[in-house]
């Protein structure tokens, strides 16, 4: 009699586990499209019941993360960690949620734990690079990006961006030269390359502080370089007519130099021609690569929006300017 009851209980338990497994499977199939590279850890060496609990907590964590409830996601991951300790995928998920909460120390700690277990995991390495960029650890990010290039040559393009973040313009130009020789440089990067080469030219050319505005203009007639033009613009900072004339010529001659767009917009804002100033700023911001220049563009946009009576936009761009500087 006892054995019959025990057998019935076992059958009921099996039916229960089957139903739970089916629910988990259905949940996985209906939610996987929302989770991108989120992977499902294999909960090894667990009882069937513990494995189901683990999967339920893990999917709940993914679900909470997908709707921005990162603290709730972390709570579910903590439950996963209690069931299955030191799992690389759980550590990865911890890191992603802490990143979204702007807790970079914890985000970095957990992704390092994950990479200790899976050092060749490309997605984990990319996530570490994101954290390092956020923490302005550009040299470390560059080292890790070079590891990605060993696996995928197309990752070189982002390495250029990292060199620019690190203000290592010479290495950025060398890499772009290499890519251009192999016809692998995009049109946007070609514009950036021109921009950087002009900047390097500026460093090489000796500054002649004795030149006044008139002699600079005479020099510009026969030597139309960006270095001379910028000196003219800087010397004419209080002359809006001169700024408009030479910045317009500068945009035509050096369309990848953001400074000429900024100067022209300042002159236009000074003349209360706010709409045109805004159009000029929107055209030039695509060529900006430095934080200080980007902040100046946003600040000038705020002035244009204020002049147009769009106070919400003014506030938005002032905040963007402050955020870039911070």
pLDDT tens profile 126-150:
999 999 999 999 999 999 999 999 9
CA angle centred on 193, ends 188 and 197, rounded to 5°: 155
Q: Which of 13-17, 219-223, 224-228 has the lowest mean pLDDT?
A: 13-17
Q: In whole angstroms, what is the distance from residue 72 CA to residue 322 CA?
A: 31
* Per-domain boundaries in the chain: 1-135, 136-185, 203-325
Residue 30 has pLDDT above 70, yes or no: no
Spatial distance between the Cα atoms of 210 and 268, rounded to a whole number of angstroms: 29
What pLDDT does 216 receive? 82
Do 1-135 and 203-325 fold alike per CATH?
yes
98-117: average pLDDT: 96
Q: Is the pLDDT of residue 262 over 80?
A: yes
Asked if residue 103 has pLDDT above 80, the reply is yes
Contact 254, 198 (CB under 8 A): yes
User: What is the value of pTM for the model shown?
Assistant: 0.53
Residue 95 pLDDT more than 90?
yes
Please, what CATH class does the domain formed by 1-135 belong to?
mainly alpha
Collapsed DSSP state (helix, strand, coil) of residue 119: coil
Q: In 24-39, which positions are buried (b, 16+ CB within 10 angstroms) versus exposed (e)?
A: beebeeeeeeebeebe
Per the CATH hierarchy, to which homologous superfamily does domain 203-325 belong? Answer: Tetratricopeptide repeat domain (1.25.40.10)
Residue 42: the pLDDT is 55
Query: Do 255 and 248 meet the contact criterion of CB atoms below 8 Å apart?
Result: no
Task: Return phi, psi of residue 46, to 5°.
Answer: -115, 155
Q: Would you tell me how many other CB atoms lie within 10 Å of the CB of residue 219?
A: 16
How confident is the model over 89-118, as a mean pLDDT?
A: 96
């Amino acid at each position: 009699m006892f054995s019959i009851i025990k057998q019935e209980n076992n059958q009921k338990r099996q039916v229960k586990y089957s139903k739970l497994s089916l629910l988990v499977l259905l949940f996985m199939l209906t939610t996987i499209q929302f989770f991108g590279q989120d992977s499902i850890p294999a909960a090894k060496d667990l009882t069937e019941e513990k494995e189901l609990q683990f999967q339920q907590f893990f999917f709940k964590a993914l679900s909470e993360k997908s709707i921005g409830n990162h603290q709730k996601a972390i709570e579910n991951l903590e439950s996963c960690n209690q069931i299955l300790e030191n799992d690389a995928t759980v550590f990865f998920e911890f890191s992603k949620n802490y990143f979204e909460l702007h807790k970079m120390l914890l985000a970095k700690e957990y992704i390092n734990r994950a990479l200790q277990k899976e050092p060749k995991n490309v997605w984990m390495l990319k996530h570490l690079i994101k954290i390092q960029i956020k923490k302005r650890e550009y040299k470390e990010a560059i080292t890790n990006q070079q590891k990605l290039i060993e696996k995928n040559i197309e990752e070189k393009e982002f390495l250029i961006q990292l060199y620019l973040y690190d203000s290592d313009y010479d290495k950025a130009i060398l890499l772009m030269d290499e890519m251009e020789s192999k016809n692998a440089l995009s049109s946007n990067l070609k514009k950036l390359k021109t921009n950087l080469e002009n900047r390097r030219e500026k460093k090489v050319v000796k500054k002649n502080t004795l030149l006044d505005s008139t002699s600079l203009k005479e020099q510009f007639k026969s030597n139309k370089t960006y270095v001379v033009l910028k000196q003219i613009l800087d010397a004419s900072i209080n002359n809006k007519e001169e700024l408009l004339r030479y910045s317009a010529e500068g945009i035509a001659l050096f369309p990848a130099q953001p400074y000429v767009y900024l100067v022209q917009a300042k002159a236009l804002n000074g003349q209360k021609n706010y709409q045109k100033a805004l159009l000029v700023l929107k055209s030039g911001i695509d060529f900006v690569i430095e934080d200080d220049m980007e902040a100046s563009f946003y600040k000038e946009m705020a002035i244009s929006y204020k002049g147009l009576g769009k106070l919400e936009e003014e506030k938005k761009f002032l905040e963007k300017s402050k955020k870039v500087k911070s």
